[in-house]
Structure 1
Amino acid sequence: MAKDVLLEIGLEELPARFVDDAENQLAVKTEKWLDDLRVDHGPVTSFSTPRRLAVLVEDVAEEQTSIREEARGPAEKIAKDEKGNWTKAAIGFTKGQGKTVEDIYTKEVKGTTYIFVEKHIVGMDTAELLPGLRDVITSIQFGKNMRWADQTLKYARPIRWMVALHGNEIIPFELTGVRTGNRTYGHRFLGQEITIGQPAEYVNALRDEHVIADAKEREQLIRDGIKEMERKENFRIPIDEDLMNEVRNLVEYPTVFKGSYEGQFLELPPEVLITSMKEHQRYFPVKSVEGELLSYFIGVRNGDERFLDTVSKGNEKVLRARLSDARFFFEEDQKNSIDFYQEKLKRVVFQDKLGTYHDKVVRIAEITAKLAELLELNEEDTQAAVRAAEICKFDLMTNMVNEFTELQGTIGEKYARNLGEEEQVSKAIGEHYMPKQANGELPSTIPGSIVSLADKLDTIVGCIYVGLVPSGSQDPYGLRRQAAGVLRILKQRQWDVSVESLLALTRTLYQSLDLNLENEENAAAELEEFFKLRASYLLREMDVEQDVIQSVIHKEIGVIDYTFAKAAILSDKRTDEEFKVVQEALTRVLNLAGKTSETEVDPAGFETESEHVLYEKVLQITDPYKRANKEKDAEKAMNLLAELAEPIHAFFDHNMVMAEDERVRSNRLAMVNAIAVLVNEYADLRAIEWKQSF
């Protein structure tokens, strides 16, 4: 009879950011472990709180599935000698399979007769296998594993108890000195020790002791509490999903409460108040129906509604102290000028080999000026961008950013505006850190976009020049995220400039500096490869196939939005049966190209009508094709190339390209090369695994 299995790992409080992934790992690894052991089972459900990770597997079979396996041995001619007796090879084979020569039978496989034996592997009792769940526990990886006391196991937090049940029987094993049992623990302050009789009792037994084991249920309770608070108080509580995800993993029994702070703190920038509440206290800010920030906050208590007023007052006291500090920092910062903070940048190192933050700002300003010139920006945008670049890091030296690092850029924008900088300049300072996450918001202004590009290019090129190339999960300067940001900004702005030209512009600046560029020799190639990998990642997010990606960035990334447009077209054509004739024609040209470097065609040297027809078609489509490329019309450019398909096939059908006559051969190769140049401007179609060849 099938029984349920429960496994719970009791821990000291896990960091909230570890909980969801660890819960998912436990569920996936447990299911895979059972499947690999051929143990049939029903649904697998996982649970988590800050103090526990658990998995419940329903209807676990009493024993492994028995299987019959056919083992193939040597060929019959090897298994038997001249007299028809079994050889040592046959005897050794059967012995190794736990059989005898009496069990041998023969079968023909691809024209050769082999010997076989059939094995019947009887399934073991599941109860004998379940102690192996210990290995599932040790296989869970966290964002940071540590060794605790004298234990050899590295884990996010020490293991304090383990529940392991098969029906009502304890699954016996030990880990870090903790033995499995049937006892778990309720809420740290409101609950008691619990004895679990059957796995199915787990969720309700915990609920009775003030623990909601299902993270999604805890989240829904929080959302319901917020909605009730909105209805009751007639205000709005914007829900930050990242904060919600964190809060639900900080509590085992959530109760929503309201707190307030003095209205005088509303004189601070809203971003300061919101950051103080969200990042430092894990509160949800409160707004009016009209969207104005109000002097209230919403917190989530790890407990029930008893003494909630006392809890609210305690939280108000903590927040009041935090906001008082913020107000002090804000007022002190206003006493100084931008130049004061700029001077302090000279004493703070950005990177040992790349100098101070002042040095970095000088480079950002120079790259910004060069970008503005390359992109032919108007004078107003150029001046705003350059000024923003010159002061883009000054807020790093303010008290406010020192206390609230999340506000870098935001405080720069606020202070610059207060200190009389133009609106475009102030806005660009705030935007130059964008995007702050891989898929985060992009700058909304041209100066902000330019300074953001300059800052990111400086960081990426500089780090790679001094040998700080990201490897594996190690990327302390966030170069991958910043490279993705560069590509996304270029795509959004649709600027007609290649990624490679921006890298060349930045490399030229670095080569003029008096720096110890230990990786200078390999930097150019590493930079281009690094950006190609980021471009590939972004294209994969658009569901573009890997072979199409390789075809459009085979030489370079180029103008990013056009490259992405070509990838989309080719991804669609890749499954178009009607495109087969075009693909074959263009690929034939690419395969033959390169036999000569000549691209000048002499029509007087043609010997057949098909040569004339193809040459005329090439002349006819060349200028429109180049215009389509310049205008970044990917579909029109491909359609023009497709017009070459029929005359290309006729050309190959009626002409020997590698003719014996050297003059004829060279002329035909020159025409092939000329067409290949056009095709390669679009993509290397040879890289694509067309549907027709699957």
Structure 2
Amino acid sequence: MSDAIAEWKSFIPASLVENNLSCDTVNIYGTPRRLAVLITGLPLQQEDCQEEVKGPNVKVAFKDGQPTKAAEGFAKKQGVELDDLVIRTTGKGEFVFVDKVIIGRMVADVLVELVPRWIFNLEGERFMRWGDGDLRFSRPIRWLLALVDDQVLPMALVNGSKIVNSDRISHGHRVLHPKSITIIKASDYVEALRHAHVIVDIEERKALITKQIQTAVAKINGHTEIYADLLAEVTNLVEYPSTVIGNFEKDFLQLPVDVITKIMVSHQRYFPVFRGYNDLELLPNFITISNGDPNKSDIIATGNERIIRARLADGRFFYETDLRNSLDSFLPKLANVTFQKDLGSVLDKSRRISKIAALISKHLHLGKDDSYNICRAALLCKADLVSQMVNEFPELQGIMGEKYALASREPELVAKAIFEHYLPRSADDVLPQTLTGQVVGLADRLDNLVSIFSLGIIPTGSSDPFALRRAANAVINISWAGNLAVNLHQLLLQISTDFVEVHDIDKYKLIKSLEDFFLQRIRTLLQDEKQIDYDLVNTILGENNPEYTARALQDLLDIRYRAIFLQEMRQKGTLDQIYEIINRSVKLAAQGELEVNHLDPEDVIDTELFQKPSEVAFYEDILRMRPQVQAVLESHNYQQLVIALTKIAPTVNNFLDGPESVLVLDPDPVIKQNRLNLLGILRNYSLLIGDFRMIVKNF
């Protein structure tokens, strides 16, 4: 229902505009039994509009000044006289036109055509046929209420032998008001349904449910978290909500809190009750949202208690059975679970994750204890998938792995990483906090990316069945959040090399596609999540610049830092102070032969060739910048380099335009190259921050 409402909110206003209809408001309502739109401020009739209709070429329409059959046919088709034809010049010559006034139709007549389109243009995965017709909808259509003010809009939905005619009849709540109701005029709709115990406004129902839950938990001195997804789901399941407080035996509280809450929330759509705010201790109660008679809440509670008791009993059986074995004893069973038909079992994947985790640990120069915990967690991270609990409740993967690891006396960091390696599970989820969890999470996702890409399954458009975009985003975000100095290029090279030893694929093609994919994700994350201006992202990533893209993949922390640094420079105005002089230097230096990675001025500049003091001053300032350049190379300290670039700006201006300016492109090629090398060294220093040619002035 929520999808249908979202579609109508977009589609119906656009449809009205397309049909030259203005209105004040378009309100979309929905319950499990009805979908409604209430439009206010519609006129009685469309406004008249003018339309220019293009006809044949003048040479075809007229011969010797007389209209041809082509002109006569065009006039007849448009319902005008030959005298009404006008000649206008276009880019393709002279053509015959007709200026027509389209008389606005009565709105009721237009709506008769539009309403069926609104209904049957809805899309959904589970639409069904009903009756003996071909019409598809999410449910069989039982009635059609269609009013324009106080008049029934005459129309019918025909589905084979089934015909649903429009009327002013609607139906109230199944239990609280089972009789049909008559809607006198359209504006009465919301209140008329309310009197029939149906609240059609979703937001109103949601607010009412929230208030009722808060009142209910207060009665039992508890607290509950109102999960957004659960609230949305139960709101769409009821027409007139009422809360019911249920109970279960205290013995079940010996189960892990996560097990109880998952059973309640995911399977029963109950709200668990905690002892207090920020308290993970559960009370033996739950809140459920009923669509029945509030006066029979005791009977409703009893039925729900019977169900939750059975579900919790199952959970306790699975939990106790799983605890009879150590977590690592589950590993052999992973051989019977297929990861992907061409990539082997989950046990094969676990071994790959463990190998990649060891590679990352070595890559990050981690100590013996950290490396052990990481490799152990990587090996065990999927073991709980074959436990009875996770087999019954897949949402508990990782959560149960952590608990079973602790019960098996695995190190606490190993247990935590088994849970954390799944983080983030969604765009708004938290990231892993421990180093062990971060590295195992990276290893798992890098294995997904390399192995799935090796099959040629690369996300295109909205298609991403293996969530590879999310996996790549997680690799980048985990590295950034954990300040992990990840050389993604080296990792992808080594992982791909190991992978192709087993699978016959083109390693370099695989690496190229992976690196291109990661660069796209880096660009997107910098712009969307870090709010970096697009031109500054281009400045640090370059545009078709292999050296810059390679630099980005070799140091994810540096790419993030430089992006944020440039954005702050723009906000403070510092970027404007150095932009002009650097950009000009870059353009001139391009006419020289100095390589962009050359940073030592003494190797390429001959002081004996200097002819003016401005050259000497430029060179001396360049020499004074070498400590700042070294600081960038050793510790990514860009701030001091920017200060030095700011200070050298007047010197460079004097070199190029001042009283002591030089002719950079001197007729003597040796002097010319010497001066271009001065500018080239300055350009190369600035390239340590970014390619200033990509910056948009006055952004």
Which category of TM-score, normalised to the shorter sequence, fits these structures? 0.7 to 0.9
SS in structure 2 opposite 1:306?
Answer: helix
Structure 2 residue 618 is the aligned partner of structure 1 residue 618: no
Q: What residue identity is the alignment partner of 2:106?
A: D
Residues 122-521 of structure 1: pairs in structure 2 closer than 5 A: 122-130=103-111, 131-142=113-124, 152=134, 155-167=137-149, 168-174=151-157, 176=159, 179-182=164-167, 183-190=169-176, 191-289=178-276, 291=279, 292-511=281-500, 513-517=501-505, 520-521=507-508
1:587 is displaced (CA, Å) by: 2.9
RMSD of aligned alpha carbons: 3.7
Deviates more, 1:392-401 or 1:525-534: 525-534
Higher relative contact order (CA 8 A, sep 6+): 1
What CA distance in whole angstroms lies between the structure 2 residues aligned with 1:552 and 1:304?
63
Q: Number of paired residues? A: 666
**Alpha-carbon distance between aligned partners in 2 of 1:140 and 1:622, rounded to the nearest angstrom:** 66
Equivalent pairs: percent with the same residue?
34
Deviation at 1:319, TM superposition (A): 0.8
How far 1:252 sits from its partner (Å)?
1.4
From the superposition, tell whether residues 66 and 616 of structure 1 become closer, same or farther in structure 2 (CA, over 3 Å): farther
1:678 is matched with 685
Mapped contact 1:164–1:180 kept (Cα < 8 A): no
Q: 1:392 and 1:684, CA in 2 relative to 1: closer, same or farther beyond 3 A?
A: same
1:152: how far off? 4.8
Distance 1:196 1:298, change over 3 A: same
**Whole-angstrom distance in 2 between the partners of 1:307 and 1:289:** 28
Taking a change above 3 Å as real, the CA distance of residues 616 and 221 of structure 1, as seen in their structure-2 partners, is same
TM-score, normalised with respect to structure 2: 0.85
**Structure 1 residue 541 and structure 2 residue 529: aligned?**
yes
For 1:417, give the aligned amino acid: L
Q: How big is the shift at 1:449? A: 0.8
Q: Which amino acid aligns with 2:155?
A: P
CA contact (8 A) 1:438 1:485 kept: no
Describe the SS at the equivalent of 2:283: strand
Q: Does 1:603 align with 2:606?
A: yes
Amino acid across the alignment from 2:153: I
Report how far residue 126 of structure 1 moved. Answer: 1.7
Report the CA distance shift for 1:505/1:33 in structure 2 as closer, same or farther (over 3 A).
same
Residue 580 of structure 2 aligns to which amino acid in structure 1?
Answer: E
Partner of 1:551: 539
- Corresponding letter in the other structure for 2:114: G
SS at match of 1:60: coil
- The more displaced of 20-29 and 158-167 is 158-167
For structure 1, the residue ranges without an aligned partner over 5 or more in a row are 1-18
User: Helix, strand or coil for the counterpart of 2:284?
Assistant: strand
Q: For residues 639-678 of structure 1, what are the structure 2 equivalents within 5 Å?
A: 639-653=643-657, 654-655=661-662, 657-678=664-685
1:483-535 deviation per Cα after TM superposition (whole angstroms, max 9, x unaligned): 11111111111223344344334323323x31243x64422222122222322
**Partner amino acid, structure 2, of 1:164:** A
Q: 1:548 to 1:309 in 2, by over 3 A?
A: same
| Higher deviation after alignment, 567-576 or 519-528 | 567-576
Cα 1:145–1:639 shift into 2, 3 Å: farther
- Is 1:58 the equivalent of 2:40? yes
1:440-493 Cα shifts (integer Å, max 9, x gaps): 111111111111111111111211122121223332222111211111111111
Separation in 2, partners of 1:180, 1:362: 64
Partner of residue 11, structure 1: none
On the 8 A contact 2:373/2:436 being kept in 1, the answer is yes
- Matched residue SS, 1:691: coil
1:584 is aligned to 580
Would the alpha carbon gap of residues 102 and 466 (structure 1) be closer, same or farther in structure 2, given more than 3 Å must change? closer
Change (3 A) 1:458 1:213: same
Distance, in Å, in 1 between the alignment partners of 2:571 and 2:46 is 44
Cα shift readout 1:11-63 (whole Å, capped 9, x = no counterpart) = xxxxxxxx323212212211111122221211121111123222111010112
Q: Which residue of 1 aligns with 2:696?
A: 689
Looking at structure 1, the residues matched to 11 and 432 of structure 2 have their Cα atoms a distance apart, in angstroms, of 41
Say which SS state the counterpart of residue 457 (structure 1) adopts.
helix
* Residues 199 and 618 (structure 1), Cα distance of their counterparts in 2 relative to 1, 3 Å cut: farther
- Shift of residue 305 of structure 1? 0.6
Matches within 5 A, 1:31-110: 31-67=13-49
Alpha-carbon spacing, 1:569–1:138, altered in 2? closer, same or farther (3 Å): farther
